[in-house]
Structure 1
Amino acid sequence: MNHKLFFHSLNKQTTIEIIYMAEQQDFTCRKIIVKTIHSDRITAYCHLRRQIRIFLIENILAAAPLNPYRKTDDDYLTII
């Protein structure tokens, strides 16, 4: 995992999006602002839960800058 995006979020206090695998192997898309970075985890404000949360780096499957043009999570859905 490239940690540059985590450091950018930490230094600029910008929101990033992550795909996270929870303990029960549930996958969630989270919008977070990184508060601290450790070797195995990050502490971040989670917009979904509206509180500070701890995310294990090994469970972060993808990370990207927040797309300001996407209005809702429904934009990810495609009807075939």
Structure 2
Amino acid sequence: MHTTFRLGNREFDRLAFLFKEQKGVDIVKVQLINAMQRKQLVNLMYISKSGEISKRCVKIIEVSSEKFLAYCFVKRDKRTFIIDNVLAAIPIIRRENEII
């Protein structure tokens, strides 16, 4: 199952990186916590320890300081992800009248 999602333009990504560096805010971690609180699914672009890049659709279960636990719909199992290895995190917005 391949998931398609949109990444922001380069300028936005650059500004987000600069904001993160200047303010000490981990933007990805904030996105993950918000998605967990809202019970949203998230499309991730993730790089593994071996350098392999993958796209995942996940439901966040728990977020700690450096890692997060999520149910991965690609692997059909719970997985632990390293926050610093998340290249992009895009919450999936569903309409209320949408049937799942």
Q: Given the two structures, how large is their TM-score scaled by the length of structure 2?
A: 0.62
Task: Name the residue aligned to 1:39.
Answer: 65
Provide the C-alpha distance between the structure 2 equivalents of 1:24 and 1:4, rounded to a whole number of angstroms. 26
Which protein is bigger by CA-based radius of gyration?
2
Provide the C-alpha distance between the structure 2 equivalents of 1:12 and 1:67, rounded to a whole number of angstroms. 10
- Sequence identity percentage: 22
Q: Which amino acid aligns with 1:28?
A: S
> Helix, strand or coil for the counterpart of 2:34?
helix
Q: Which runs of 5+ in 2 are unaligned?
A: 1-25, 95-100
Structure with higher helix content: 2
CA apart distance, 1:29 = 0.6
Q: Which runs of 5+ in 1 are unaligned?
A: 69-80
Backbone CA RMSD of aligned residues: 1.5
CA apart distance, 1:27 = 0.2
Q: Given the two structures, how large is their TM-score scaled by the length of structure 1?
A: 0.76
CA apart distance, 1:8 = 2.1
Structure with higher strand content: 1
Provide the C-alpha distance between the structure 2 equivalents of 1:67 and 1:4, rounded to a whole number of angstroms. 17
